[in-house]
Amino acid sequence: MTEVEILAYGVQADEQPLLEQAFAGRHSLRTLAVFLDRDTAPLAAGYPAVSSSSSVNAVLDAETLAVLAANRTREFDFRLDGLLGRDVHGMTVGVIGSGKIGECFARIAAGFGTELLGWNVSPNPACLALGTYTDLPELLTRADLVSLHVPLVPATHHLIDAAALARMKDDAILVNSSRGGLVDSVALVETLRAGLVPKS
């Protein structure tokens, strides 16, 4: 495998170790906390590969719509008539990964009057005023809605597996707006067929 020099924009301090682990021995990685824009673009000169996180607001707009849509489905009935849905206000929302996108999602969820639980490699100071950090098993057990915002690296592959799904409430909502590999899809299908976690 040919080693490639990669420059990654918009990387938070808590994301750095995960990225370094993912690329160790394969590629040379340099990370920047700043986002890619007109002023920072010259920093990428000479790098054959450049990565930039998506617009946080664009990702969160799409995710919030997904949460609201999932919250309106019931018993796999996707007809528009007769849907009762659930009130987001008062829900306990678990935010797995509190980087830039996770933080923005937490702020939106807080605006709906939810109780926020967070899990991250290291707490984001900006999120401490929004809710409480806890361990992953407790978050999965308590949350009415679980939203994933962690990168896909070896340590997070199938983070949501059969054991994690078994911890969740039977009527929990699972939203993965990150990478598909975070969820064990085989375990998820089996859980859905068993009538658990009906909204995902």
- List of domains in the chain: 5-52 (no CATH), 56-193 (3.40.50.720)
- pLDDT computed for residue 191 by the predictor: 87
State both tokens at 74.
């019931």
CA atoms of 14 and 108, how far apart (whole Å):
22
- pLDDT computed for residue 87 by the predictor: 77
CA atoms 7, 12, 17, 22: torsion sign = negative
> Global pTM?
0.62
State both tokens at 111.
């605006």
- pLDDT computed for residue 92 by the predictor: 97
Contacts of 84 (CB under 8 A, 6+ apart): 74
- pLDDT computed for residue 61 by the predictor: 46
CA atoms of 118 and 93, how far apart (whole Å):
8
DSSP codes of every residue in the chain? ----EEEEES--TTTHHHHHHHHTTT-EEEE-SSPPSTTTGGGGTT-SEEEEPPPHHHHHHHHHHHHHHHHT-BTTB--STT------TT-EEEEE--SHHHHHHHHHHHHTT-EEEEE-SS--GGGTTT-EE--HHHHHHH-SEEEE-----GGGTTSB-HHHHHHS-TT-EEEE-S-GGGB-HHHHHHHHHTT-S-B-
- pLDDT computed for residue 58 by the predictor: 44
User: What pLDDT tens digit does each residue of the chain (200 aa) get?
Assistant: 456 788 887 877 767 777 777 667 777 888 888 888 888 888 988 887 777 765 444 444 444 545 555 554 444 555 555 445 677 889 999 999 999 899 989 998 998 899 999 999 899 999 999 999 999 999 999 999 999 999 999 999 999 999 999 999 988 999 998 888 999 999 998 888 887 654 55
- pLDDT computed for residue 48 by the predictor: 75
Q: For residue 154, how many C-alpha atoms fall within 13 Å in the half-sphere facing its CB?
A: 6
